[in-house]
């Protein structure tokens, strides 16, 4: 199935927004690593802003960056949210409360515990009544989300926002699913090319095989260290605008293959 | 949409194991809800519990996946010759051509709840549990995929109480795009402390067996259950004749409320959009719908908003009922459980009543059946609405 990438949002350790990350992916600046910058949620009404935690903020931050870059109206976009891990901070606090005699779970934490909490806040913030889904395929969640978003784009002939995000669990839960840092990526995918689109991107399902790795050892550690960063090889390919074939780990024995053609938008900009 | 043939379906809940047990209980307007005696929970409420799960570990080769949620999945898969139907499809189509798309809200969260209760008092460290196989949201699909020996695309949808209705959409897209020939769809949610104490914190638990659409309703009753359906392409060699082969999913509509995280839009705006989109996807006018299985949680707000939305779209004559008084609210498994009840209404020629409810709240305006009645519905719609304002309506038909 063929889609175009109309906008990208990115927030991860040492990767603060798509423009800065592009320079890293193209080798123009060295990857320095570091902590993930604090996400901003200026889009949310104040009441919701108070209620949502860092994981929701991460998802919304990259969604906003991607949609602004695309020029699309957020209210008209269907959305696919993919996370391998949900919200560990919320699970931690609920389980702490449940381990106490009173079992006094916070009502706000409880409604934030649903896997679709970012989707709910997104819909409130953007006033979008379009469909949204929230899925999980453990470490293959980015690939699963990309495939589902691609299917929605081609089946519905409409643009779709994909947001993949993961944030480290707090102690003592962290030892069961360690992550090196918070990572979120947003992609606005559409069925037709615009002047500024990246791609085209041809998505397909393939049997297993090796995942595409990154040459830079620090970026490769990040890719392996948090599930949403499994998107990095595809993002790097899009940033370079070259013909590429990226194998993204999905399930045991299955991968999602993303073939990117040379990006017309990048070629045009280089020529200009 | 291209209709999806439902070639086999099954479920387990407090109404019993298998669809015949469900049909009988619904025909007798029997509720499976009982006063809560789950674990050491001290809440004055009713629950719909599946008996015997404590004594039913999962298959030995999948022991790492052992938790209440996956036990419930295993019990469900073994009813109604569903396992045989999937193995037959696997033989014909190949393991890699069958997708597994399932919904759950809390997966095996009880494993981590228990771990926190047994945390080391000095360090806070938790005893070991199998995180990816039990607590992670994907654990359900991973377990079912291995249980059935399937190798096609798989993921879990977790959008609270609409999760296992939306799975039909994911399956339809994979099949339409040629990435799978069939899919096992469904959902499983099991009782746990998080939902019982969480809904208590929101003051949404009834102290009685829930009474959807009754003027005296005062909240939900939580239940647990599993439901599965095997769906295939409507045309060609993959749609082999089966006992229920005349039933198909013919429409699906999804929407977001854009209103509040845990309260539905008061006018049911999101609900209306989901139902309208389901009709458009089915290519049907509202008048074609012969029965509506309501989301009907028995909260004050849901039932008024949903009743208005349903009456606004279908008028006040189409028969509707809410079956959570029978099953409890199965949360992440509610979508598939009510899809199954909707399919049973088409197959059995019987519209279920609304168990526990004595009267219909006049504010709710749609035509709620308190008692079941015989009918010959051709098309029926099932509503599922979740936290985060996430809505999904399904249209099933006899084709």
- Tell if the CB–CB gap between A207 and B154 is shorter than 8 Å: no
The confidence score (pLDDT) of residue B242 equals 46
> How far, in Å, CA of A17 to CA of A160, rounded?
20
Cis bond before residue A200 (omega within 30° of 0): yes
- Tell if the CB–CB gap between B388 and A205 is shorter than 8 Å: no
Summarised one tens digit per residue, pLDDT across range B6-40 is 999 999 999 999 999 999 999 999 999 999 999 99
Nearest CA-CA distance, residue B296 and chain A, Å: 19
| Catalytic-residue membership of B329 | yes
User: Is the pLDDT assigned to residue B246 strictly greater than 70?
Assistant: yes
| Catalytic-residue membership of B14 | no
Distances (CA, A) of B5 to A204, B81, B293: 25, 17, 20
Using the Cβ of A96 and the Cβ atoms of chain B, whether some distance falls under 8 Å is answered with yes
> How far, in Å, CA of A193 to CA of A108, rounded?
41
Closest Cα partner for B162 from B297, B29, B58? B297
Chain A interface disruption, residue of B258, B267, B334, most A CBs within 10 A:
B258
Residue A70's Cα: distance from chain center in Å? Answer: 15
Q: Which residues of chain A have pLDDT under 50?
A: 272
Nearest CA-CA distance, residue A176 and chain B, Å: 6
Closest Cα partner for A166 from A187, A180, A144, A183? A183
> How far, in Å, CA of B230 to CA of B100, rounded?
9
The confidence score (pLDDT) of residue B239 equals 46
- DSSP three-state, residue B227: strand
**Residue numbers in A near B261 (CB within 8 A):** 48, 51, 111-112, 117, 120-121, 124
Using the Cβ of A115 and the Cβ atoms of chain B, whether some distance falls under 8 Å is answered with yes
Closest Cα partner for B182 from B133, B137, B146, B233? B233
- Tell if the CB–CB gap between A151 and B173 is shorter than 8 Å: yes
Instruction: List the 157-196 stretch of A: residues with Cβ below 8 A of B.
Output: 171-173, 175-177
Give the relative orientation of helices B334-348 and B163-176 as an angle to the nearest 10 degrees: 80
Give the relative orientation of helices B68-77 and B139-148 as an angle to the nearest 10 degrees: 40
| Catalytic-residue membership of B161 | yes
Chain A interface disruption, residue of B102, B113, B116, most A CBs within 10 A:
B116
Closest Cα partner for A141 from B7, B345, B103, B155? B155
Residues A265, A197 contacting (CB under 8 angstroms): yes
Nearest CA-CA distance, residue B179 and chain A, Å: 7
Residues B354, A82 contacting (CB under 8 angstroms): no
Residue B40's closest chain A neighbor by CA? A101
> What count of other Cβ atoms lies within 10 Å of the Cβ of residue B137?
31
Distances (CA, A) of B237 to A12, B84, B393: 48, 19, 29
**Residue numbers in A near B156 (CB within 8 A):** 135-137
- Tell if the CB–CB gap between A138 and B255 is shorter than 8 Å: no
Tokens matching residue B223: 């239940």
Question: One of B265, B295, B366, B392 is an active-site residue; which one?
Answer: B295
CATH of the domain at A213: 3.40.47.10
List all residues 6 or more positions away from B375 whose beta carbon is below 8 Å from its beta carbon: B290, B291, B319, B345, B349, B350, B351
Pairs of CB atoms within 8 A across A/B: 199
Question: One of B210, B244, B329, B366 is an active-site residue; which one?
Answer: B329
Of B119, B142, B194, the CB nearest to A138: B142
- Tell if the CB–CB gap between B255 and A131 is shorter than 8 Å: yes
> How far, in Å, CA of A10 to CA of B297, rounded?
39
Tokens matching residue A203: 């998505």
Which H, E and C letters describe chain A, residue by residue?
CEEEEEEEEEEECCEECHHHHHHHHCCCCCCCCCCCCCCCCCCCCHHHHHHCCHHHHHHHHHHHHHHHHHCCCHHHCEEEEECCCCCHHHHHHHHHHHHCCCCCCCHHHHHHCCCCHHHHHHHHHHCCCCCEEEEEECECHHHHHHHHHHHHHHHHCCCEEEEEEECCCCCCHHHHCCCCCCEEEEEEEECCCCCCCEEEEEEEEEECCCCCCCCCHHHHHHHHHCHHHHHHHHHHHHHHCCCEEEEEEEECCEEEEEEECCCHHHHHHHHC
Q: What domains can be seen in chain B, in order of their start residue?
A: 4-233 (3.40.47.10), 247-398 (3.40.47.10)
Q: What's the structural domain count of chain A?
A: 1
Residues B207, B30 contacting (CB under 8 angstroms): no
**Residue numbers in A near B166 (CB within 8 A):** 133
Q: What angle do CA B283, B289, B293 make, to 5 degrees?
A: 120
Residue A89's Cα: distance from chain center in Å? Answer: 19
> What is the average pLDDT across B247-276?
95
Nearest CA-CA distance, residue B270 and chain A, Å: 7
Tokens matching residue A147: 């495939």
Residues B307, B363 contacting (CB under 8 angstroms): yes
Residue B154's closest chain A neighbor by CA? A137
Q: Which helix (H) or strand (E) holds B325?
A: helix B324-327
Of A98, A155, A254, the CB nearest to B193: A98
The confidence score (pLDDT) of residue A270 equals 54
- Tell if the CB–CB gap between B136 and A99 is shorter than 8 Å: no
* Residue whose structure tokens are 């009404």: A45
> How far, in Å, CA of A64 to CA of A74, rounded?
8
Summarised one tens digit per residue, pLDDT across range B197-245 is 999 999 999 999 999 999 999 999 999 999 999 999 876 544 454 444 4
Distances (CA, A) of B31 to B86, B270, B297, B323: 31, 29, 14, 9
- Tell if the CB–CB gap between B256 and A144 is shorter than 8 Å: no
Residue ranges making up the domain that contains A143? 2-271
- Tell if the CB–CB gap between A115 and B137 is shorter than 8 Å: yes
- Tell if the CB–CB gap between B159 and A104 is shorter than 8 Å: no
* Residue whose structure tokens are 């949310």: A44
Nearest CA-CA distance, residue A20 and chain B, Å: 32
Chain A interface disruption, residue of B254, B390, B392, B394, most A CBs within 10 A:
B390
> How far, in Å, CA of A56 to CA of A115, rounded?
10
Chain B interface disruption, residue of A98, A119, A257, most B CBs within 10 A:
A98
The confidence score (pLDDT) of residue A208 equals 82
Summarised one tens digit per residue, pLDDT across range B36-59 is 999 999 999 999 999 999 999 999
The confidence score (pLDDT) of residue A237 equals 96
Residues A159, A6 contacting (CB under 8 angstroms): yes
> How far, in Å, CA of A95 to CA of A112, rounded?
14
- Tell if the CB–CB gap between A177 and B257 is shorter than 8 Å: no
- Tell if the CB–CB gap between A132 and B390 is shorter than 8 Å: yes
Mean pLDDT over the full length of chain B? 96
Of A86, A106, A131, the CB nearest to B201: A106
- ipTM surpassing 0.90, yes or no? yes
Summarised one tens digit per residue, pLDDT across range B126-141 is 999 999 999 999 999 9
């Amino acid at each position: 199935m063929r889609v175009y990438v109309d906008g990208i949002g990115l927030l991860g350790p040492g990767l603060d927004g798509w423009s800065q990350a592009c320079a890293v992916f193209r080798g123009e600046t060295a990857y320095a690593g570091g902590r993930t910058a604090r996400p901003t949620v200026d889009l949310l009404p104040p009441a919701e802003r108070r209620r949502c935690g860092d994981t929701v903020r991460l998802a919304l931050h990259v969604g906003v960056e991607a949609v602004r870059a695309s020029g699309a109206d957020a209210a008209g976009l269907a959305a696919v949210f993919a996370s391998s891990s949900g919200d560990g901070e919320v699970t931690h606090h609920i389980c702490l409360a449940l381990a106490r005699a009173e079992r006094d779970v916070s009502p706000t934490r409880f409604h934030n515990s649903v896997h679709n909490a970012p989707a709910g806040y997104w819909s409130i913030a953007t006033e979008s009544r379009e469909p949204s889904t929230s899925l999980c395929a453990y470490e293959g969640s980015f690939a699963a989300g990309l495939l589902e978003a691609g299917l929605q784009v081609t089946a519905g002939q409409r643009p779709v926002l994909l947001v993949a995000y993961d944030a480290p669990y707090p102690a003592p839960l962290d030892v069961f699913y360690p992550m090196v840092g918070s990572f979120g990526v947003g992609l606005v995918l559409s069925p037709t090319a615009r002047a500024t689109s990246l791609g085209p991107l041809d998505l397909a399902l393939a049997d297993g095989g090796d995942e595409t790795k990154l040459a830079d050892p620090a970026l490769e550690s990040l890719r392996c260290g948090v599930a949403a960063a499994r998107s990095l090889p595809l993002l790097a390919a899009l940033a370079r605008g070259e013909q590429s074939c990226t194998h993204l780990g999905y399930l045991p024995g299955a991968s999602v293959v993303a073939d990117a053609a040379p990006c017309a938008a990048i070629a045009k900009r280089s020529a200009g | 949409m291209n209709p999806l043939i439902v070639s086999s379906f099954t479920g387990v809940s407090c109404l019993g194991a298998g669809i015949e047990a469900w049909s009988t209980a619904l025909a007798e307007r029997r509720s499976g809800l009982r006063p809560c005696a789950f674990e050491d929970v001290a809440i004055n409420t009713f629950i719909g519990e599946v008996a015997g799960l404590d004594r039913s570990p999962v298959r030995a080769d999948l022991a790492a996946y052992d938790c209440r949620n996956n036990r419930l999945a295993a019990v469900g898969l073994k009813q109604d010759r569903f396992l045989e139907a999937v193995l037959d499809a696997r033989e014909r189509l190949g393991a890699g051509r069958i997708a597994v798309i399932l919904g759950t809200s809390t997966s095996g969260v009880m494993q981590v709840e228990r771990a926190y209760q047994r945390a080391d008092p000095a360090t806070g460290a938790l005893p070991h549990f199998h995180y990816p196989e039990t607590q992670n949201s994907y654990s359900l699909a991973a377990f079912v995929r291995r249980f059935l020996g399937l190798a096609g695309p798989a993921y879990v949808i977790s959008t609270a109480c609409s999760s296992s209705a939306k799975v039909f959409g994911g399956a339809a897209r994979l099949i339409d795009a040629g990435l799978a020939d069939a899919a096992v769809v469904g959902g499983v949610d099991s009782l746990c402390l998080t939902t019982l104490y969480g809904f208590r914190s929101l003051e949404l638990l009834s102290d009685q067996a829930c009474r959807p659409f009754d003027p005296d309703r005062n909240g939900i009753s939580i239940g647990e259950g599993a439901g599965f359906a095997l769906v295939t392409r409507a045309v060609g060699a993959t749609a082999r004749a089966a006992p229920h082969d005349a039933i198909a999913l013919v429409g699906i509509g999804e929407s977001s409320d854009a209103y509040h995280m845990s309260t539905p839009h008061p006018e049911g705006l999101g609900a209306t959009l989901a139902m309208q989109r389901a009709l458009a996807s089915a290519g049907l006018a509202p008048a074609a719908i012969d029965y509506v299985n309501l989301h009907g949680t028995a909260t004050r707000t849901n039932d008024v908003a949903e009743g208005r939305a349903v009456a606004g779209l279908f008028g006040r004559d189409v028969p509707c009922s809410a079956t959570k008084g029978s099953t409890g609210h199965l949360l992440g498994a509610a979508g598939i459980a009510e899809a199954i009840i909707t399919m049973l209404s088409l197959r059995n020629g019987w519209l279920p009543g609304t168990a526990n409810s004595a009267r219909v709240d006049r504010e709710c305006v749609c035509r709620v059946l308190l008692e079941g009645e015989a009918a010959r519905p051709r098309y029926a719609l099932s509503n599922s609405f979740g936290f985060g304002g996430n809505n999904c309506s399904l249209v099933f038909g006899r084709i």
